[in-house]
Amino acid sequence: MTNFPYFGKYPHHLPIFPLKKFFNFHGSLSQLILLFHYVKSPFLIELCYFIIISLLGYLGLKFSKPRTHVIHKDLDLFYTSVSASTVSSMAALEMEIFSNFQLILLTFLMLAGGEAYISMLELVIATQNFKRNKLTSTLAMEQKPIQVELGLVSIENNKHSHECDIDHVPNVMVGYFNDRDTRLKYNSLRYLLYVIIGYLVVVHLVGSSLVSLYISFIPSARQILKPKGIEIQTFSFFIIVSSFANCGFVPTNENMIVFKNNSGLLLLIIPHILLGNTLYVPCLRLVIWLMKKVTRRDEFSYLLNNSKEVGYDHLIPSSHHCWLLAVTVLGLNLIQFVMFCSMEWNSKNMEGLNMYQKVVASMFQVINARHSGESVFDLSSISSAILVLFIVMMYLPPNTTFLPAWDHGNETKRSLMDCLVFSQLSYLVIFIILICITESKSLIEDPLNFNVFNITIEVISAYGNVGFTTGYSCRRQVKADGMCKDSYIGFSGKWSSQGKFILIVVMFFGRLKKFNMNGGKA
């Protein structure tokens, strides 16, 4: 985690404060703000953040009117909300049941849960608390001389002194603004925040506009949405937010399978998948470098040369590391593309596509395997060798480099708790075992749908916040159920309530995996 001035390093770093006085606020909003001010664990803050927005999303879905009048289980609605807020896109309900308002609600959940947006909020907190910490230290240094020289009453007697606004503090107490290094660092944090906001706004506006224009001018794409009652503007913004946040939700029941002939649309979406996740770090550094060349401001040079002091995780120290990361991303995608084409080129999935459409669709599918989870092919019909490769890709963190820039002399002593913490794979094995226990009856009665391999894909997909699923098919039932009806939901949508609850835990765990052993760095 970033070493922000506001954050502590471990969850147990909590200061002692008067709880009785704290709870006299009678549940007001200031109580919640004060609580987050004292809770200095980034893990607890983000966990509470995701739980809160997931609950708000659930309430929004529950009390808003859907497109259909079918009553859905509360657990499925909460499951969908968690999937959107943790950008996992594990589907327990068909997407076309949601009204236009509910699709917009899911869009904002995905936006609020995306890594770029979360890191922007962290930077806002870091910037504000950098100013607050500097003000506090300046007050502490200036307090004693003022008391001695003027014989005034101690400033400590003022119970509000620690909350002074910098705009109302005498000039003698804000001398740190005259410190060039401090001012440069503070301005650099602000400029970085502006760059990230601009990056988010430009990418989303340009992307949604281009997708909207494409659908408006291409009849084949427009005719897919019209019978489904999905508005073009809603679809365009939804798909760009989902792709950039690497969520994988699509407003259509069939995901992107219905658009596999629309190569132009797939090519518009592919850059947003990369810009929002695996190539976000190199692109952010490139934007800062361009701003430095254009503006020639010292703040951008400071950001490029002092990333550790800035403390922003996605601002890595060197351009060399950025190149390694970009090469790793392209190399992994190339390996997947070659294997996928060699094994699936003449498969049933490719029927009706010309060579150009096959290339674009294959490229779209393998790029989504890292984190996004959008599909143009039915995964249940893809060869097992490719699915195993996808499992590996889903497990890898977004900033994985296989040609790492070694950082010697950075060895730190590990605490007993660090030594006792399980590896990521150990946790995943435990989750898979637990789900096999909860779904043991289905594993026996419906082995073609419920098998350990399909469960493993679902768990790793939820952990990687990807959303790939093999789905569920009534045709694969060994004992035919006359009441069974195929629907466009994920495989986990057919699990028991206990199994879904475990997968909800997996989604939270995967979204916060960066706090556990560095997220399983390669």
pLDDT digits (tens, 9 = 90+) for 136-190: 665 555 555 544 444 444 444 444 444 444 444 444 334 444 567 778 888 888 8
Q: Which 3 state secondary structure label does DSSP give 410?
A: coil
Q: Which two tokens stand for residue 13?
A: 């770093």
The pLDDT assigned to 166 comes to 40
Residue at 510 is within a domain: yes
**Mean pLDDT of the region 406-416:** 48
Report the number of distinct structural domains present in the chain.
2
For the four alpha carbons of 481, 485, 488 and 492, in that order, the dihedral sign comes to negative
Q: How far apart are CA 80 and CA 72, in angstroms?
A: 11
- Both 425 and 391 in one domain: the answer is no
Whether the CB-CB separation of 126 and 192 falls below 8 Å is answered with no
> What three-state secondary structure class fits 3?
coil
Same domain assignment for residues 91 and 225: no
User: Are residues 337 and 388 located together in one domain of the fold?
Assistant: yes
Nearest residue to 47 (alpha-carbon basis) of 515, 459, 426: 515
Residues 80 and 221 in one domain: no
Are 439 and 502 contained in the same domain?
yes
Evaluate if residue 479 carries a pLDDT over 60. Answer: yes
Closest CA to 61 of 249, 255, 269: 249
Within a domain: 495: yes
Mean pLDDT of 261-290: 92
Asked if pLDDT for residue 244 goes beyond 90, the answer is yes
d(CA 16, CA 139): 22
What is the chain's alpha carbon radius of gyration, rounded to the nearest angstrom?
25
pLDDT attached to residue 413? 53
What was the pLDDT predicted at 519?
A: 42
Top-confidence residue, 486 or 285: 285
Please report where in the chains the tokens 């190539």 appear, as a residue.
279
Instruction: Please compute the mean of the pLDDT values over residues 501-508 and round it to a whole number.
Output: 92
* DSSP letter, residue 479: S
**Amino acid symbol at 2:** T
Task: Give yes or no: residues 375 and 461 share one domain.
Answer: no
Q: Is residue 436 part of a domain?
A: yes
The answer to whether 150 and 220 have CB atoms below 8 angstroms apart is no
Q: Give the per-residue pLDDT at 478.
A: 81
User: Which tokens in the block code for residue 203?
Assistant: 């990418």
How many CA atoms within 13 Å lie on the side-chain side of 193? 15
| pLDDT value, residue 202 | 95
pLDDT tens digits along 277-306: 888 989 999 999 999 999 888 888 888 888
Q: Do 201 and 337 fall within a single domain? A: yes
Cα separation, 339 vs 355, in Å, equals: 16
Residue 135 binned pLDDT confidence (cut-offs 50, 70, 90): low
Judged by DSSP in three states, 399 sits in coil
Average pLDDT over residues 7-21: 38
Q: pLDDT tier at 416 (50, 70, 90 boundaries)?
A: very low
Q: How far apart are CA 236 and CA 244, in angstroms?
A: 12
In the chain, the amino acid numbered 226 is K
What are the structure tokens assigned to 78, written together? 């909460």
Residue among 32, 151, 88, 172 nearest 394 (CA): 88
- The reply to whether 169 falls in a domain is no
In whole angstroms, give the CA distance from residue 228 to residue 168: 57
Confidence check: pLDDT of 262 > 90: yes
For residue 490, what are the CA distances in angstroms to 50, 253, 424, 487? Answer: 22, 10, 24, 9
Determine the structural domain holding residue 455 and report its residue range.
42-113+421-517
Token pair 């002074």 in the structure block, residue:
164
When mean pLDDT is compared across 44-48, 236-240, 335-339, the lowest value belongs to: 44-48
pTM for this predicted structure: 0.80
Position 181 scores a pLDDT of 75
Q: What is the pLDDT of residue 22?
A: 36
CB 297 within 8 A of CB 191: yes
In the predicted model, is pLDDT for residue 254 greater than 70? yes
Query: Do 332 and 201 share a structural domain?
Result: yes
Q: How far apart are CA 211 and CA 62, in angstroms?
A: 30
Residue ending a domain, among 361, 395, 429, is 395
Question: Does the structure show a pLDDT above 80 at 273?
Answer: yes
- Same domain for 214 and 270, yes or no, is yes
For residues 251 and 236, what is the distance between their CA atoms, to the nearest angstrom? 10
* Helical ranges in 156-306 per DSSP H: 180-217, 219-225, 232-244, 263-275, 280-295, 298-305
Separation CA 355–CA 336 (nearest Å): 18
In this structure, what DSSP letter does residue 382 have? S
- Closest Cα partner for 352 from 263, 415, 269? 263
Distance of alpha carbon 427 from alpha carbon 420, whole angstroms:
13
Higher-pLDDT residue of 130 and 172 is 130
Please name the residue that has the structure tokens 């068909």.
94
Domain assignment present for residue 313? The answer is yes
274/190 Cα distance (integer angstroms): 25
For 38-90, the pLDDT digits (tens) are 556 778 888 889 999 999 999 999 999 888 777 788 899 999 999 999 988 88
Q: Report how far residue 472's alpha carbon sits from residue 488's, in angstroms, rounded to the nearest whole number.
A: 8
With b for 16 or more beta-carbon neighbours within 10 A and e for fewer, the 248-281 pattern comes to bbbbbbbbbbbbbbbbebbebbbbbbbbbbbbbb
Q: Which residues contact 487 (CB under 8 A, 6 or more apart)?
A: 94, 253, 472, 493
Q: What is the pLDDT of residue 143?
A: 54
Q: Is the pLDDT of residue 325 over 80?
A: yes
**Is the Cβ–Cβ distance between 520 and 395 less than 8 Å?**
yes
Is 228 a domain residue? yes
Confidence of residue 402 (pLDDT cuts 50, 70, 90): low
Instruction: Check residue 162 and give its pLDDT.
Output: 43
Mean pLDDT computed over 192-213 = 94
- Output the DSSP codes for 246-270: T----SSTTTTGGGTT-HHHHHHHH
Q: What is the mean pLDDT of the chain?
A: 79
What is the tally of helices (H) and strands (E) in the chain?
21, 0
CA dihedral 119, 122, 128, 129 (to 10 degrees): -140
Would the pLDDT of 21 be above 70?
no
CA distance 425 to 427: 5
As a whole number, mean pLDDT of residues 463-484 equals 84
The pLDDT-based confidence of 481 (bands split at 50, 70, 90) is confident
Range among 36-40, 370-374, 495-499 with highest mean pLDDT value = 495-499
Higher pLDDT, 175 or 382: 382
Q: Are 365 and 491 within one domain?
A: no
* Across 325-330, average pLDDT: 89
User: Same domain, yes or no, for 310 and 430?
Assistant: no
Tell me which of 23 and 225 has the higher pLDDT. Answer: 225
What token pair was written down for 14?
A: 């909590």
495 shares a domain with 437: yes
Residues 6+ apart with CB under 8 A from 231: 100, 225
In a domain, 135, yes or no: no
The answer to whether residue 132 is domain-embedded is: no
Count the residues in the chain.
Answer: 522
> At 114, is the secondary structure helix, strand, or coil?
coil
Tokens of 332: 């992994």
The per-residue pLDDT for 421 is: 55
